[in-house]
Chain A
Amino acid sequence: MAVIAEPIAKPVSRFQLFLDRREVLEMFLVAPAIIYVLLLVGLPLLLAVYYSLSTYTVYDPSWRFVGLRNFWDILQNPTFTQTLLNTFIFTFGSQLLGLVLGKFGAFLLLRPFPGRKIVRALIVLPFVIPVALATIAWRWLFDSLYSVFNWTLIALGILERADAPNWLGTPWLAMLCVIIINAWRFFPFAIVIFLAGITAVPQDVIDAATVDGAGFWRRNYQIILPMILPIMAIGLIFGIVFTFTDLSIVFLLTQGGPVGATSVLAFAGFKTGIESGDVAHGAAMSLFMLPVLLIVVVFMLRFIRRREI
């Protein structure tokens, strides 16, 4: 009887053993992302907290602990409370407008029509054009003397020159302008989100609803929208975070004017912390964003998790 030798087990390397353990492998794979977030988000955040509790300025770059005094100082300033309110109006106004535009854009792009591929490619342009270029173009569109909008309305006989809107000179119109530009920048992203969501809804669910007599609005608002809410919420988180911390449009278009009507937190923090060199108060202003963003993100993530369950 032939004796078959038992195969000699190859020595397994420690690294392979290490990778064979699922929880270790998971940690190993997720580590770069964690390190990235800690270095690029965590450290600057800690630095901002460190500065906000001190008297640190460019003029005197020494650190002296003052507790929450910087926060108290800026809260005493009525201009700051106006800035805080402006930030909410700017963020939620532009997100709402962006979502509405995104939803309708997605519906339009779902229908086949000649040149749809070209339109799909062109529609992402606002998202990829450098913000400086785009805002300068918008500045010309809203210019007090040469506004294309006003020129068209006057040429069509709808308006007299004396009654033409003062786009960037009237406080609420100036806020509307920055909201429109931000929504214009955001809506291609919203379209992509909506398209991804809508195309993931099983066709048989929609067909069944149609057979049961559900019309366009009912299908959209009672079937499709609830099903795509989680993915929409993810898109909204990105939109809110990016808008809340954005200063580029305000900086390039209005410099916070007229009379402070468009000043937002990021812009005010930049002016105080960077341009005026008062790093401590600038950091404190910027950190006002943190609790708001934290609440929004936690709330939305919990909402998404519940929906998925």
Chain B
Amino acid sequence: MRNTGLTLAAAGSAPAISAPFVSSAMAQAKTLTIVQWSHFVPEYDKWFDNFAKDWGSKNNIAVTVDHIPVANVAARAAAEASAQSGHDLFGWNGSGGAHLYKKFLVDVTDLVESTQKKYGKVSTIGRQIGYNLEDKSWTAFPDFYINFPSMYRKSMWDEIGMKPDTWDNVRIGGAKLKAKGHPVGISLGHSNDPNTTWRGVLWAFGGAVQDETGKKVVLNSKETVEAVKFVSALYKEAMTPEVLSWDDSSNNRYLVSGVGSMIINPISAYRTFQKANKKGADDTFVMAPPKGPARQIMGGAIEYYGIWKFAKNKEGALEFLKYYADHWPEAFKASEGYNNPCFANLVPKPMPLLSDDPTSTPRDKLSILQDSEGWSASPGYPGPSWPAVDEVYNDFVICDMMAKAATGQMSAEDSVKWATQQCEAIYKKWLEKA
């Protein structure tokens, strides 16, 4: 704490020391700095930058928006928190952040509550990331979540007279299509997509890493073993070993190449396909994730904003978020339907683009995504997200549990035991610190 105190003292005294050298004009000029990931829909970034600058010019605030690669967000947050300096508004992507940095972030409970009054209740997936059960406060403002629907080549699946609507059908149909040169493509590598997808399969089979309280590891169960056995069979029968090396963009390329018959991915894959090959994209259909024996569910990635306590313009950051929430449908359109709202009525149904997309054939192809809130969950499901959940996620424990069994390195039972040991060690460590 002494270190933090010294840093804070140094940071606090910096303006006083530099004050004589700063011109009065400069001192009066207000700035707002924002950092967030480089969006997979580049048009969204262009829209956001203009939107933020436009707000700045209306309020006489110079706004700077920095975009960083998605893989660098966690390290950037750590650097800013350690240095007690950086951007005013920090946009996190995916797992973790809000809880880990709770002591460094401004309480935004009032902002979330006023937004809820205006735009309806925040969704479960939004609550999992930003809400603190213990003190009923909000550490971060939920921006949007990214859903992971299933995308399949209709003509290929029609040819075998099947639909990938259940995990069993994905395996059985996938095996038939693999024989025809069109395997299923779900990554078993180390990146965000497999972290999200395989959690979805685990939950669909009734397994989970933790219980509802988030305090207990419940991974070692017969449901988990069944899920792992299923993934092993899916890998051997319907996929090829190349999935072991994939990053987040590989399955998009796999679909666009015309080889893959089905993937699980946000609709950026479909949008990329539309730009590369309209005919192939027209043949690609989007559906809710396959049903498992226990439930129909899939992992989702949450995006949220935190305001650092050391931010130079906390008030400006809060005002910007209020304004941003009021213009959220514009953000939704700019993201081509990729950014899904976290508040119930932020984008009223039928949602533009998703209910009737002029670029898609048929035009209602994406309409299933309007209800994705019902089948999307964040990594902590059925409990909250917290630092232990993040570490299990960052260490790719669930992906590796599936991959170890799929590649025959371990039996399903041993693989589950290995993953449980990893999770329990991580939970024990964090529970002592919580």
Which residues in A have some Cβ–Cβ distance to B below 8 Å?
A: 55, 57-63, 73, 76-79, 139, 142-146, 166-170, 174, 251, 254-260, 270-272, 274-278, 281
Contact = CB atoms under 8 A, between A and B. Distances in A.
Interface residues on B, range: 35 or more
A276 B379 CA distance: 14
Interface of B, secondary structure class, is: helix
Given A59-B102, A275-B74, A277-B78, 8 more contacts: A77-B425, A142-B245, A144-B246, A145-B253, A169-B243, A254-B190, A255-B189, A274-B78
B98 to A, nearest CB: 11
Contact of B409 (A55, A57, A142, A259): A259
A79 B404 CA distance: 12
Given A58-B78, A256-B190, A168 B245 contact: yes
> Which are the 6 A-B pairs with shortest beta-carbon distances?
A169-B245, A168-B245, A144-B242, A257-B190, A169-B244, A255-B190
B433 A257 contact: no
Interface string B206-242: 0000000000000000000000000000000000011
Interface in B94-130: 96, 99-104
B431 to A, nearest CB: 12
28 contacts: A57-B387, A58-B81, A59-B100, A59-B103, A61-B1, A73-B425, A73-B429, A77-B425, A79-B422, A144-B245, A144-B246, A144-B250, A166-B241, A166-B242, A170-B244, A254-B190, A255-B396, A256-B396, A257-B189, A257-B245, A257-B399, A258-B189, A271-B394, A274-B74, A275-B390, A277-B78, A277-B387, A278-B391
Nearest to B397: A79
A1 B75 CA distance: 88
A215 B299 CA distance: 67
A63 B6 CA distance: 14
A277 B99 CA distance: 11
A59 B387 contact: yes
A255 B187 CA distance: 13
A166 B387 contact: no
B361 to A, nearest CB: 26
Contact of A276 (B246, B257, B259, B390): B390
A271 B395 contact: yes
A35 to B, nearest CB: 21
Contact of A58 (B100, B259, B403): B100
A108 to B, nearest CB: 34
A270 B102 CA distance: 21
A48 to B, nearest CB: 13
Nearest to A167: B245
A258 B1 CA distance: 39
Contacts of A274: 74-75, 78
Interface string B392-415: 001110011001100101000000
Given A169-B244, A271-B395, A276-B390, A76 B425 contact: yes
Given A58-B100, A63-B1, A144-B250, A275 B245 contact: no
Contacts of B188: 258
Contacts of A62: 1
